[in-house]
Copies of this chain bind each other. A is one copy, B any other.
Amino acid sequence: MKRDAQALASLAPPNLAVGRHLIADLSGCPASCLADPDLIAAAMLAAARAGHAQVLQQHFHHFGPAQGVTGMLLLMESHISIHTWPEHGYAAVDLFMCGAANAAAALAVLQVQLQASTVREQVIMRGC
């Protein structure tokens, strides 16, 4: 699996950091995974568990047969979102987690369950 990870240095870090925001582009995923709302929902919930995050709400929307899924978990620790483009084998994910939750562990689960061959990721420290 190819990983293209780099911390963002374009803006100075905040004086007061409240959490880490992990932005991830997953490519090379089978279209059948990315067009399956049940698989996406299960993968997202497994990711939250792996990250030790507590789910408050969940919503997933399927745009139609063989089309993409858009969804989110609202967490006690902030959120995880996903938007998929089966026609490009691509999923856009972001994981914003505060406290002791582990966004990297959550992303690792999504990489495996969506069978991504390439992941581009960036971490942004959020705060003021």
Chain A interface (Cβ < 8 Å from any Cβ of B) = 4, 6-11, 14, 16, 18-19, 21, 23, 25, 27, 56-57, 59, 61, 70-72, 74-75, 78-79, 81, 83, 85, 88-90, 92, 94, 96, 98, 118, 120, 122, 124, 126-128
Do A70 and B61 contact each other (CB < 8 Å), given the known contacts A88-B16, A96-B94?
Answer: no
In the complex, A90 Cα to B15 Cα: how many Å? 12
In the complex, A55 Cα to B11 Cα: how many Å? 31
Do A89 and B25 contact each other (CB < 8 Å), given the known contacts A70-B78, A83-B78, A96-B94?
Answer: no
Q: Are A92 and B19 in contact (CB under 8 A)?
A: yes
A107, chain B: closest CB distance, angstroms: 15
